[in-house]
Amino acid sequence: MKTMKLPKLKIALLLCAGLCLSASVNAQEKEEKKVEAATTVLSDFSKMKESIPSELLAVTQGIIVVPKLINAGFVIGAKRGKGVAMVKRADGTWSNPVFITITGGSIGFQIGVQAVDLVLVFKHSSSLTDIKKSSFTLGGDLSVAAGPIGRNTTANTDYKLEAEVYSYSRSKGLFAGISLNGASLAIDAQGNTSFYGKAASAHKIFAAPDNSSDLVKELKSTLTGMQAK
């Protein structure tokens, strides 16, 4: 009987290891698709006539991209989405992406379900680097306002507003307004672990050397290109 159990135990362990490896690979692929989707959102935004002004992006110190944020409601609304956050380094280059989650609710006359691509532009990188493992609330901890649009809009005249964050949302190829007051932004620790292969704080990811992933390189290149247009 003992000689029969050993092979079965080995088989069970191998199966368990295989399942764990498969789950890990699937989780990593899920995060890779988020990075790819974020790149697509930025690329699509850059092609729109009324896009995010390049001069705003030139002075921006942080950005969050959330592809397909679900905005649903029937009197009481709810929002849910996952995306990536990046900060601008001292040399003007962009950091590696940190995975984040946005959740929130609102009360008012609303009905239906809408998926929007959301881009949040931050005036100061510390707004993102200081959240660490905690979260912050838009409209509470940080003021948020709809960002100006138009390629000829200048930073000197339009970006002296008091808001810390400017929001841009797009639905079905057109800019669409969306209320973000009360929405909470938090670090997606599990997503970061899945993508980078080990647990790391947002602060460490932001400060780390450039990631060698082609997907990350394309994301950074797309964002940098938007500043030059």
Domain that holds residue 151: 29-228
Give the span between the Cα atoms of 179 and 116, in whole angstroms.
12
pLDDT at 104: 78
17 falls within a domain? no
Element housing 104 (H / E): strand 98-122
Count of domains forming the chain: 1
> What DSSP letter does each residue of 202-220 carry, written as one string?
HHHHHHSPPP--HHHHHHH
Where do runs of H (alpha helix) occur along 60-111? none
**pLDDT confidence of residue 178:** 72
Is 76 a domain residue? yes
Question: What is the residue whose two structure tokens read 């339009």?
Answer: 158
Pairing of strands 165-171, 144-146: parallel
Residue 13 counted as domain residue? no
**12 domain residue, yes or no:** no
- Is 145 a domain residue? yes
pLDDT tens for each residue of 72-100: 654 455 678 899 999 999 999 999 999 99
Angle between helices 214-228 and 2-47 (to 10 degrees): 10
3 assigned to some structural domain:
no
Q: What is the pLDDT of residue 58?
A: 84
In angstroms, how far is the first alpha carbon of the chain from the final one?
74
Residue 178 sits at the vertex; the CA angle it makes with 188 and 120, to the nearest 5 degrees, is 45
The predicted structure's pLDDT at residue 22 = 47
- Give the pLDDT confidence score for residue 144 in this predicted structure: 83
Give the pLDDT of residue 161: 55
Low-confidence residues of the chain, pLDDT below 50?
1-6, 18-23, 74-75, 107-110, 155-159
Phi, psi (deg, nearest 5) at residue 151: -65, -25
Residue 148 lies in a domain: yes
Within a domain: residue 39? Answer: yes
